[in-house]
Structure 1
Amino acid sequence: MTAEKLQVAFTDILKAHQRISPYIHKTPVFKNSKINDLVHRELYFKAENLQKTGSFKARGALNAVLQLKEKQTNLKGVVTHSSGNHGQATAWAARTTGLQCSIVVPSYSPAVKMEAIKEYGAELVECGPLPTDRNAACEKIAAEKKYEMIPPFDHYHVIAGQGTIAVEFLEAVPNLDAILVPISGGGMIAGIAVAAKHIKPNIKVYAVEPEGKILEKSLRAEEMLWPNPPQYLNTIADGIRLQQTGHLTWPFLLQLVEKEVFTVNNEEIIKAMKFVFQRMKLVIEAASGAAVAAAMSDQLQKLDKKIQHIGVILCGGNVDIDKLPWF
């Protein structure tokens, strides 16, 4: 099979980093001796839970909005759909650049995320529970208001923006051997993989999924094996509950991400979240907990012993403190 030419290059990610750096946080990297003692490796946590809007999504959304502004002088506004984090990020990016904005969210989205979207000044539009409901609502708003659509992951400017995480991470920790990345549609891991593999070709990028995603089976078959239309998974990690990856992100996963995938369940996610809350004093959401759960798993212990320095992406911290998953 001939590899498809990837549409995001390292130069695109460097340009994105230069474009968004004046507006975003350069998030810190944390270590924890307790977890290192448990796993007998060195773990490094990239704290995107401390990013603007509380998640990594600010990077991709802002990069996409700024590029739209550069190309369209008469741009009225933007619209997107999201379970919460990309919605907040797009609302913030629109406010930062002086644009109008509408965000479509499913009715089950955490209240904390929906309130934040409204506080950023965006119009909040609730839709039905299915992925197709989101798309239909977005298309209707885009047509009526003449807004540009910014998808949450399946967009090359979004992918490039998310890749800036790896630029910062490897600048802070050049000796990383691997990075664990939670995956939903695949925008973050696609961007991280492009940047990380360019900076350090031998680095391994592993996807972390909730139970039921069957990503490893798809990667090994080199075929998208998910049902169509896309389904949602039964997981507490609302930020990564989409079963299917994006069509634009898929070639990046196929070419740059390890075929071995870390799969975690709700119980493991809760255990990992509690550890980070109690021992690292950081607030993380369940999607971040999935990456920590992978780092604490037996599967990690079976990796090659040469993989000693492992990066973990704490992708977001937008948790509803009145509805913590262990209550």
Structure 2
Amino acid sequence: MKVYTLHHPHQFNKDDFPPLSIALGFFDGVHKGHQKVIQTAKEYADTHGVKSAVMTFDPHPSVVLSSKKKSVEYLSSVDQKISKIDQMGIDYVLIVRFTSAFASLEPQEFVDQYLIGLNAVHITAGFDYTYGKFGRGKMETLPFHARGIFTSTIVEKQVDHDEKISSTRIRELLAHGDVEIASHLLGSFYETEGLVIHGEKRGRKIGFPTANIETLNGLLIPSTGVYAVRMKIQNTWYDGICNVGYKPTFNDPDQAALSVEVHLFNYSESIYGEKVNVQWLKRIRSEKKFNGIDELIAQIEKDKDEAIHILSDQR
């Protein structure tokens, strides 16, 4: 798969690409709804003997378009998004840098420069996809803006239990700790990237050493609580439990910073500075304050036993 980053105004022309069947969308998380759009574009490419492509954007449009300083909690980093798209057998990924200048393009200008100008012969997007300044371009207006040069397919709303599958819904689920349902909608376990940093080292003192994780790339962390997880270190996955929270047994929650700490069951190496991935399998319980170290240790033992059972079932 070939990956291109486009900065507006881009310098590519039609001759730089073969005829393309392009899926359009932000595709945060590349969930099952996104997968339907991408797969539809690929099916057209395979049927008509052209190449498949996905056009996505970075950063999230709301970061640029909002009048207030806004940060977005993502479901996937750009690299994670590229990896999931690659697994679907797509030929090209086109990452458009979303800037104020790009956002100012009229719908026809966007189509001329970023679809016709990149040799699109077919476009696939979800029913609610918009393009151009103020989102004035809709899937219903795309045939007009296509100037007869490409055709298009609208993918209807994808639902699960009568609810739309959306990145917003998945974020809400993660915000409540519902990592199992979120993973079901994603089509794979929710996964975050992080860096192992120095923490307070209290876990080591009570017999449960933890890796303190600084989450990278603005990825959303599930709500506070204890989770059964897997963590990838140098391409190998290890089982463990993760505590997300403010450690109320030791700290004043009003003054403490949120921490993400992973205790691995069969790992004892020093990994400070390592980049790791955490897969979130199931929430075991909410965070709570204990009446001393002995009570905390007893609960961690219970959490560990439950996590081992959950991870064993997943195999």
TM range (shorter): under 0.3
Give TM-score, length-normalised by structure 2.
Answer: 0.27
Q: Which structure has greater helix proportion?
A: 1
Give TM-score, length-normalised by structure 1.
Answer: 0.26
Q: Which structure has greater strand proportion?
A: 2
Higher Cα Rg: structure 1 or 2?
A: 2
